[in-house]
Amino acid sequence: MRLAQFISKEMEAILAEWESFAATLLPAAQGMTSRELRDHAQQILEAIAKDLSTPQTRQAQLAKSHGRVSPVIDAPQTAAQTHAVLRARGGFDINQLTAEYRALRAAVLRLWLDSGGPPTDELDDVIRFNEAIDQALSESVSFFTNQVDQRRNLLLGMLGHDMRSPLQTIQVTAHHLARLNDGQEVSTAAARLIRSGARMQALLDDMLDFSRTKLGLGIRVTQAPVDLGTLVADELDQLCAAHAGRKVELEIAGDTRATCDGRRIQQMLGNLVGNAFKYGEPSAAVKVLVAGNGEDVSIEVVNQGQAIPPSALHRIFEPLERGPVAEGGPGAQDSLGLGLYIAQEIARAHRGDISARSDEAETVFTVRLPRHSASP
């Protein structure tokens, strides 16, 4: 009996084996009904049986072994993908999910062999069956990890939002203590609280922006007519005040008026200049150029210092990427490794883009913003 026929004929026996094993995956399986334990196992097996019964060329077999399988037509999710989502929501971990498929593979082959085993000319069914199980496992793991990532990002967003209220109370109290002018000791402590509160606020803002982008919501922008030259100059004044001893040279060229979210542009600039302060040569000035050119306005941030290796440059805008200085040097606690990622998302929210180049002479980050961009 061919394996596809065996699976269809002995479906109930195979499902009983699946259910029996799934019930051992504690604590997630505790209290689950037979239907919940079996979940989409029957649909997964039916899809496998159908796959085994479908003629397959060697080219198609090779493509499947490389994970290149055409999506199911008129089906938003396969049974394996839906099973992964439900298992993730049910509290299973990734090891328990993969264990279900290992047990299913072993159960089907054992039951098939016990029934008489495959004739020599049907050994190809074993290969096909293993391919189909691996494909179902790949689909489940992919959707499982997406579900876990979404839940984590929701938690990050809620955590960042809920922490804002107590942080604001701390900041208001610190400013009140500073205004009391009740001796040097109180003033020093208040100043320390204000600085720490500002750092925590920046970290929370980065975390909230990151969670929004990972949930597919993007960076929220509110656009209005502004002069980017004036906007950049104001932000650089504040950055210089916060980084005593660091020098910044600003050059403005052309018409720098545009429609954008001024607060977000300043946030993006702060991330770029802060990055230049952290990784650039301390004795050299950071150069900022704002230039209007036709339908675009560009912002360049240039610093001298060690070149960024090509291997790091291509992933520099990815989240949670931090350079060697940030890993262990001063300022490591001020960063989540999200600054450049958020700068990129802000540029994208304005229908613009950001790029980087680096050599032994200088490192340059260039932001291009449309002068008039429709809000996404």
Along the 376 residues of the chain, how does pLDDT read in single tens digits? 788 899 999 999 999 999 999 999 988 888 889 999 999 999 999 988 998 888 878 787 777 666 666 655 455 678 888 998 888 888 888 888 888 888 888 888 888 888 876 665 566 677 677 777 877 887 787 777 777 777 776 666 666 666 767 777 877 888 887 888 778 888 888 888 877 777 777 667 777 777 767 666 677 788 899 999 999 999 999 888 878 888 999 999 999 999 999 988 998 998 899 889 988 899 899 999 999 988 999 999 999 988 888 877 877 888 766 555 444 444 444 555 778 888 998 998 899 999 999 998 899 999 999 998 654 4
Residue where a domain stops, chosen among 214, 234, 250: 214
Same domain, 125 and 201: no
The answer to whether position 375 is within a domain reads: no
Quote the pLDDT of residue 335.
54
Structural domain contains residue 139: yes
How far is Cα 108 from Cα 346, in angstroms, rounded to an integer? 52
287 DSSP β-pair partners: 249, 302
Which of 151, 168, 199 is where one domain is finished? Answer: 151
Identify residue 106 by its one-letter amino acid code. Answer: A
DSSP class of residue 372?
B
C-alpha to C-alpha distance for 236 and 228, rounded to whole angstroms:
12
Number of domains in the chain: 3
* CA 223 from centroid of its chain's CA atoms: 26
26: number of CA atoms within 13 Å, CB side? 3
CB count within 10 Å of CB 215 equals: 14
Indicate whether 92 belongs to any domain: yes
pTM (two decimals)? 0.53
Asked, for residue 219, whether it belongs to a domain, the answer is no
Structural tokens at position 319: 């989240």
Query: What pLDDT score was predicted for residue 194?
Result: 78
Please state, in angstroms and rounded to a whole number, the distance separating the CA atoms of residues 241 and 234: 11
Residues 77 and 97 in one domain: yes
Tokens matching residue 66: 């490389």
* pLDDT for 326: 45
pLDDT value at residue 330 = 45
- What residue numbers bound the domain in which 264 lies? 224-370
Residues 87 and 101 in one domain: yes
Q: Read out DSSP for 131-190? A: HHHHHHHHHHHHHHHHHHHHHHHHHHHHHHHHHHHHHHHHHHHHHHHHHHT-HHHHHHHH
Sign of CA dihedral 92, 94, 96, 98: positive
Say which CATH number the domain at 310 has.
3.30.565.10
DSSP E strand boundaries for the chain? 224-227, 248-253, 257-260, 286-293, 296-303, 353-358, 363-370
Q: How many CA atoms lie within 13 A of 370 on its CB side?
A: 11
